[in-house]
Amino acid sequence: MPLSVYVNFNGNCREAINFYTDVFELEKPKIMTFGETPPDPNFPLSEEAKKLIMHTFLIINGTEVMFSDVPPGMPFIAGNNISLVVVSKDMDEIK
């Protein structure tokens, strides 16, 4: 069962991605921003928030590392911004 890492950033996700692609000599990944999602009238985004990264990932030494900026209105707590993600289609295995 693969284990991935998810790292949230406080508006500097793009900078982190550039850093890791340089350090590990990786290709620049495809990036999805908050502005590329369908608009939701209940949660309008500022033009600045639309530029934040909603999701991207890098494979670093065989490990998938996913990246995202914390969405506007959500708290960012340093030290609580890294999660481990278990990926499986087998519900029994997940349990």
Band (72; pLDDT cuts 50, 70, 90): confident
Band (71; pLDDT cuts 50, 70, 90): confident
Separation CA 25–CA 21 (nearest Å): 5
- Provide the 8-state DSSP code for 75: -
Mean pLDDT of the region 16-25: 98
Top-tier CATH class for 3-94: alpha beta
The pLDDT of residue 13: 98
Band (8; pLDDT cuts 50, 70, 90): very high
Measure the CA angle with vertex 33, ends 56 and 6; round to 5°: 35
Measure the CA angle with vertex 15, ends 78 and 87; round to 5°: 65
Indicate whether this model's pTM tops 0.75.
yes
Separation CA 43–CA 50 (nearest Å): 12
Closest CA to 10 of 91, 80, 85, 87: 80
